[in-house]
Amino acid sequence: MSRFAEPMARLIDELKKLPGIGSKNAQRLAFHILRSSEADAEALAGAVRDVKAKLHLCSVCNNITDVDPCVYCSSATRNPRVVCVVEEPTNIAAIEKTRHYNGSYHVLHGSLSPLHGVGPEHLRLESLTRRVDAGEVDEVIIATNPTVEGEATAIYISNTVRRPNLKVTRIATGIPAGSDIEYADEVTMTKAMEGRREL
Ligand SMILES: [Zn+2]
């Protein structure tokens, strides 16, 4: 029998399903929610509901969008044959602010982290391999973060998408190692894109 009342045990079970959340963390979060105000708990529940009801992932690139395909994938002025792979939808803004990139995107929604139980099966790669297999891509630019996880992910992707006639490049690390591309200024990000090397 569980040592928690049923609603508490249920909340802990749901939180445990989140990536990187083990039993201990799930219990801590559940108790935090229990102690928080009615309004805060309701706001959390409402935000979880809305994110599923109002937003979805672009069927082409996995960007978070309220229209499908997203604005980048449906733009007539962008080159769909060059695909920049990023970890999170927020990273797209970091690339966009260079104003030098005119290709399309692919969002992984994470990076490999064996220590936190995040394996290749948790990365959203299928739609990218589908685009590559259909011959729709000339270059894959891997713009994962310059962290241990980001580098491991870059190697995994380059091995997974490698095909004849497909160029696979990695952005240069003018970006400090261990940081997040989201915080790179536009000059650094532009240099990182220009200095990309083939993998
Ligand atoms: Zn898209």
DSSP secondary structure letter of residue 120? G
pTM: 0.68
pLDDT band, residue 184 (cuts 50/70/90): confident
Which amino acid, 110? G
Distance 65 CA to ligand 1 centre (A): 8
Structure-token match 């790179």, residue found: 184
Distance 23 CA to ligand 1 centre (A): 35
In this chain, the answer to whether the domains covering 6-54 and 60-198 adopt an identical fold is: no
Distance 175 CA to ligand 1 centre (A): 25
Distance 72 CA to ligand 1 centre (A): 6
Distance 73 CA to ligand 1 centre (A): 4
**Per-residue model confidence (pLDDT) at position 99:** 86
Provide the 3-class DSSP secondary structure of residue 136.
coil
Distance 104 CA to ligand 1 centre (A): 8
Distance 71 CA to ligand 1 centre (A): 7
User: Domain coordinates of the chain in residue numbers?
Assistant: 6-54, 60-198
**Per-residue model confidence (pLDDT) at position 1:** 52
- For residues 88 and 12, what is the distance between their CA atoms, to the nearest angstrom? 26
Lowest-pLDDT choice from 99-103, 115-119, 143-147, 195-199: 195-199
Percent pLDDT > 90 in the chain is 66
Q: What's the pLDDT tens digit per position in 121-149? A: 888 999 999 999 999 999 999 999 888 88
Which DSSP helix (H) or strand (E) runs through 167?
strand 167-170
The answer on pLDDT for 100 being more than 60 is yes
In this structure, what token pair is assigned to residue 154? Answer: 């870059």
Distance 194 CA to ligand 1 centre (A): 23
Question: Looking at the domain covering 6-54, what would its CATH class be?
Answer: mainly alpha
**Arch. (CATH architecture) of 60-198:** 3-Layer(aba) Sandwich (3.40)
Ion ligand 1 neighbours (CB, 5 A) are: 58, 60-61, 63, 69-70, 73
Distance 124 CA to ligand 1 centre (A): 13
